[in-house]
């Protein structure tokens, strides 16, 4: 916050964000504070930009809870992923994308860490699909390994029924076939 002192180029005043298609409001947010915490906001509210003097800014392609969590993090340095295992994983995914878009690398790392910690029987398949979609190789590998090592638990939790992406399904089937082949090789070696 010390960066707010002595920089005459920082914007003054508050902004209200109109979030999503329903234009839900995140009201009275300090432009100055956002600018010192995010290069994206520094550019958005920079000299010569129409948003610099705007009282309201529309934010599309996200939901109110996730955008509010982004703003809360920028203003308080506290990560809010909501309640419940599934909700936390979903929020961490969306918030990580927002952190990337709004150029907040520390928040992006915190969300990636939260995602890695949230891999469990009920979340492994949805996280696997999300990792596949976003190109997150580390999370993808972790989820694949978890599914392979805890197949019965994932299946009992309904993880298989959650599977929607055919490419991910083919990958998991390939993993299962590789495991069967390894087991067969081990069985043949033990009989030799």
Write the pLDDT tens digit of every residue in 103-144: 999 999 999 999 889 898 988 888 888 888 888 888 888 988
Domain residue ranges of the chain, discontinuous segments joined by +: 119-191
Q: pLDDT at residue 80 above 80?
A: yes
Q: Highest mean pLDDT range out of 93-97, 129-133, 169-173?
A: 93-97
> From CA 58, how far away is CA 25, in angstroms rounded?
9
Please give the pLDDT value at position 35: 94
Is 158 within 8 Å of 122 (Cβ atoms)?
Answer: yes
Count CB atoms within 10 A of the CB of residue 136: 20
Q: Is the pTM of this model over 0.85?
A: no
CB 185 within 8 A of CB 147: no
Higher local confidence (pLDDT), 179 or 149: 149
């Amino acid at each position: 916050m010390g960066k707010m002192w002595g920089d005459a180029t920082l914007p003054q005043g508050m902004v209200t964000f109109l979030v999503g298609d329903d234009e839900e409001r995140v009201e009275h947010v300090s432009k100055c504070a956002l600018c010192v915490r995010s290069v994206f906001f520094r550019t958005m509210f920079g000299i010569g930009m129409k948003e610099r003097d705007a009282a309201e800014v529309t934010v599309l392609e996200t939901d109110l809870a996730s955008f509010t969590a982004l703003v809360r993090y920028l203003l308080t340095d506290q990560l809010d992923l909501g309640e419940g295992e599934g909700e936390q994983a979903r929020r961490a995914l969306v918030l990580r994308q927002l952190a990337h878009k709004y150029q907040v690398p520390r928040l992006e790392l915190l969300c990636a860490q939260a995602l890695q910690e949230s891999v469990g029987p009920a979340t492994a398949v949805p996280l696997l699909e999300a990792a596949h979609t976003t190109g997150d190789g580390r999370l993808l590998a972790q989820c694949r390994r978890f599914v392979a090592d805890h197949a019965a638990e994932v299946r009992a939790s309904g993880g298989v029924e959650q599977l929607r992406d055919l490419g991910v399904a083919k990958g998991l089937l390939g993993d299962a076939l590789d495991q069967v082949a390894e087991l067969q090789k081990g069985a043949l070696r033990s009989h030799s």
